[in-house]
Structures are given as C-alpha cells and as structure tokens.
Structure 1
C-alpha cells in the first residue's frame, strides 16, 4: 500500500480509502461489509470514509461494528455531517459518534457544499462550524474539512469565506477523475490552491459509481491510476465486494505515475466524452445531491437573517 501525508496534519494515510456509502447498500450484507472493511485494513488501507446520512445511518453502524476488536486503532476515521446550524451539526455529530462507537473521529467534514450560500450558513455565528470547533475543543474531533461535487468555484468560495474568518481547513474532498480534467475542473481550479495551502486532498468519484466506465474511454484501473497520479492524499473509492477491493489494492500495488505520452493519450481519449459533463451528472444534475432531496438535514436558516427578511 502507498502512504501519503494528509496536508499539513502530519497524519499518514493510505492513498486508497474505503468509501462508506457502498457499505450500507441493500445489496451488501452486513457480514460482507464488515469483511470488506477488516480485509481492507489487513491489506494496509487505513483511511475510512463515511457520512451521517449514508443509507439512513446504516453505513456508519456497519463501520462501527467492523472497527471493533482493535481495528479502530489501525485507521484514520472520517465522517461528514450535513447540518448547517450549530444545533443540527452538533446533533448529527453525536449520532455519528454513537453509531461509529468511538469517542473521537479523526476528520469531520461539512458535507455537500453545493450552493454559494452554504459557506455563509456554515460560518454564521450560530452556524455548523461553531459546533465542530466546540467538538474539536472537547476532543471529539481532530481535524476539520469540507466536501462538494458541484462546481469548483463554490469550493474556492468556501476557502475564501473560511479565510475571512481566520480559518484554514485540514482537508477538502472533491471529484478528481479523467473527465473532470476537461469539464468544470476541480483539478485545474481547486487542486493547485489546496497544494499551495498544504491542505489535504481527498479525491472522490474516480469512476463516479461506474458511470465514467460506461463511456468506454477508460478502464477502472486507469481511472484509479489517474486519480493516484494527481497530488491526492487519498483516493476514496466505493468497495462493495472483495473483487472490487482486490482491484483497488492492485491499483495501489502496481501504481506508477503516468509518463507524459501515456497521460496525453488518456486525456485525448476521454476529451470528447467529457466535453458536456454527461458522464459527471453530479455536476450537471441534482441526482447526487442528498441535501437537495432532504433540506431538513441542513436545519433552519439563521434566525437573525429570517428576522431581517421579515422586517
């Protein structure tokens, strides 16, 4: 397994991470999900991804059970919360701690920063960021980050709003794949800024749940290799079977950076399919936007803003 440093935290993390969403899918039994997590750890993968809303909590519950019997001490554990208010973020975080059966989560991220108003709600005086800072002070969290999959400009806006509040995130999660390189590109716009600020880079949607593969322009191993080729700390990938785990480990075991001619060939092959964003529907539709379908997860708008609106 390849290990890299997570930004400026000093934490050593596996270059491949286990995506939590797949672990709670109905087609994956609890027994199989626990086997996947423990086998991944035994094979050197130490980065575990999850989220408060994945499969109505089943993903966190299963991971919590998998991390018993000494496995928790061998991983860097991450989860995400959707709440935008101080109260809702604190509630969701407590649920995540209970489900995961831990006292401390290594990294907690503001999930689905998809709208330009999200950073302002999160950094409001009664916003979610206050809840996470308090949790960090209490020893419930080690590091803080945010995620999003919609538009690189929104990521840059989130970084800017954080800076205005004197804060720098420890990690940022975003789509990094062979098609993102051509369309509304996080790689071109956000990645250089994260590297400059020494913020940990968490790549996701290297295959977009298999959607990229339907273009017929790149194989699964090429997709993983491309994401690993970038200055990512971790490439988080969905693993719903032992066969897929074998594939992910093989990609890490055999990884070597692309030669310039190889890279040019791969990007040339994917350019036309990537041009309109058709194979990246998380950018161009709301199909991947859990908080759009469940706005109650975000919590109420700030009271002082609502009062201003009704005056």
Structure 2
C-alpha cells in the first residue's frame, strides 16, 4: 500500500480506502462487512469512509460494530462521516442541512453509531443553500476545538464556496476545511482537474475521491445493457442510466478491450488512472465481496507497471466523450 498526505496536512491516508456507500447496511451485512474491513486492514488500508445518510445510519452502525469487533488499534486507522441529508426518512428541518444544530447533533450521532470518541474526518456532504457558510464554518471549528473532529472538509462544493469557507476561517482564526471529496473518474474529470486546480496551491486542499468506476460503468458490466440485479437496475439508482449513451458506450467497450490488452481488469485500470493525479490523496473503493476488493487493490500494481505510452492510450480512449 502507498500512503499520501491529505494535501498539506500531516495526516497520511492509504492511497486506496474503503467506503460504505451503497454497500454496508444494504447489500452487505455485518458478516461480509467484517471480512471486507479485515481484508482492507491486512492490505494496508487505513481509511474507512461513511456518511449519516448511508442506509439511514445503518452503514455507520455496521462499520462501527465491525471496527470494534476486530479490535484494530484506534491510532492505526481513520474514519469519516458526512453531514447534510440526515439519517432518517422524511427528515424534519432540524434533522438535515448544515445549520449549527444539525452539524452538532449529527456529529454526536455519528460518534455513537461508529462507536468512536472522535471522527478523523468530518465532511459537509453537499452545500446547504439554506445555511450561511460562515455558520457552518463556526460549527465545524467548535467540533475541532472540542476534540470531536480532527479534520473537516466538503464534498461536491463549488470552488467558490470552498474559497468563501477559507475566507471566513482566515478572518476569524478558525479551522479551515482540509479536504474536498468529489467524484473523479475517466468520465467525470472537470471539477477535480480544472475547477479545483487553484485550490491545491492556495489552500493545500487534499481530495478523497469517490466513484472511480463511475458507479460500475468502467468495469465493463454495462457494455451490453443493464444486467438484472446490478446497481443501475436497483430502485433509487436508475438515474445513473443516463451515463449509458451511444458515444460513451462505444468508448467503454474500447476501454474494456484496451484493459485486456494491457493485462489488467477494467476496474483496476480505471482506479489506477485516478491514482496518477498527484492531487488525489485517497481513492474510495466500494465492494460487496473480498474478491472484488482484492481485484480493485490490483490497481496499485497496474499503476506501477504501465508506462506513459500506455496511459496515453487510456486517455485517447475517452477523447471527446
């Protein structure tokens, strides 16, 4: 496993990490979750990502139970939560958003579900148009000063909103966001590579990127349609089907063929491509089995093995798509 600093912070995260989105508490119960976390730890992963809204809090309860059961040393791993959408169906106004109240309440609820005394990373899951950014910055700073959060950040905020958060923190000597958690993959690059480009040097932001496989599109699974039982066929995820348009499907098929030629699985090749970006601190992986996790971890070998000419061919596959 390789380890990377979280931007200019001193924290070093495994370059590949394990997330609970759409798996823990839904497709994955405690038994398989335990196997996944144990295998991740055995292969050097030290960061486990969560959110209050994943399975309405059940993902964090599963993660917390597993981490406690495995008795891994608390100073050897990092855990996150995210706040915005709430952890209940049909939340009341104070059970969602980024107000001081919900940020405070959600943090304490996450600590209880995850069975920890502090969160290593705490992220604002999306911007909240109903709450001034300065209120959220003050709320996060309070949690850091209380020792309940070590580093805080954002997820899918605009560069302008992140700059405003830093300006508030600087003006009032508060803790500023240390990281952003955006989507990043071969099909969705603009925000990480262009919009956020000025932020890395200006603020030392790190990134923990999600969806390196574009919700499975880059695995080759959907090259010939949507299989029954797959994520894109499940209720609540059909919006992802819009990524399967003509030119994109042809590019995905070319990518699958190129991966075979380069003696890599499409998944490992796609994940390795994400790791080539020096501004990526950690790539979040999702898995429903240990075999799937190990296949994804092979991205580290692919990254070390392929030369610049091979990566140029990967880039060319999606040119203009």
Query: Which of the five TM-score ranges fits, normalised by the shorter chain?
Result: 0.7 to 0.9
Is 1:79 the counterpart of 2:81 in the alignment?
A: yes
Contact 2:4-2:281 at 8 Å conserved across structures: yes
SS at match of 1:24: coil
Which runs of structure 1 show a deviation greater than 4 angstroms over 4 or more consecutive aligned residues? Answer: none
Contact 1:23-1:62 at 8 Å conserved across structures: no
Aligned residue for 2:317? Answer: 269
Is 1:243 the counterpart of 2:280 in the alignment?
A: no
Aligned residue for 1:180? Answer: 188
Aligned residue for 1:10? Answer: 10
Gaps of 5+ in 1: 149-153, 276-311
Looking at both structures, which has the greater relative contact order when contacts are Cα pairs under 8 Å and sequence separation is at least 6? 1
SS at match of 2:319: helix
User: C-alpha distance in 1, partners of 2:285/2:132?
Assistant: 27
Aligned residue for 2:110? Answer: 96
Aligned residue for 1:221? Answer: 268
User: C-alpha distance in 2, partners of 1:91/1:257?
Assistant: 47
SS at match of 2:17: strand
User: C-alpha distance in 1, partners of 2:25/2:114?
Assistant: 17
Q: How many residues align?
A: 260
Contact 1:179-1:271 at 8 Å conserved across structures: no
User: C-alpha distance in 2, partners of 1:49/1:210?
Assistant: 19
Gaps of 5+ in 2: 85-96, 171-175, 223-251, 256-265
User: C-alpha distance in 1, partners of 2:281/2:16?
Assistant: 9
Displacement of 1:176 = 1.6
Shift in alpha-carbon separation, 1:243–1:139, aligned structure 2, 3 A: same
The equivalent position to 1:107 in structure 2, one of 117, 121, 133, is: 121
Displacement of 1:26 = 2.7
What's the TM-score, normalizing by structure 2?
0.75
User: C-alpha distance in 2, partners of 1:264/1:17?
Assistant: 26
Contact 1:79-1:109 at 8 Å conserved across structures: yes
Displacement of 1:7 = 1.5
Contact 1:106-1:141 at 8 Å conserved across structures: yes
User: C-alpha distance in 2, partners of 1:112/1:85?
Assistant: 13
SS at match of 1:187: helix
Q: Deviations over 1:61-90 (max 9, x none)?
A: 011011114323321111111131111111
Deviates more, 1:213-222 or 1:253-262: 253-262
Aligned residue for 1:29? Answer: 29
- Cα RMSD of the aligned pairs, angstroms, is 2.1
Contact 1:22-1:240 at 8 Å conserved across structures: no
User: C-alpha distance in 1, partners of 2:191/2:205?
Assistant: 18
Shift in alpha-carbon separation, 1:49–1:191, aligned structure 2, 3 A: farther
Is 1:159 the counterpart of 2:159 in the alignment?
A: no
Shift in alpha-carbon separation, 1:223–1:195, aligned structure 2, 3 A: farther
The equivalent position to 1:129 in structure 2, one of 125, 130, 137, is: 137
Contact 2:137-2:168 at 8 Å conserved across structures: no
Deviates more, 1:98-107 or 1:81-90: 81-90
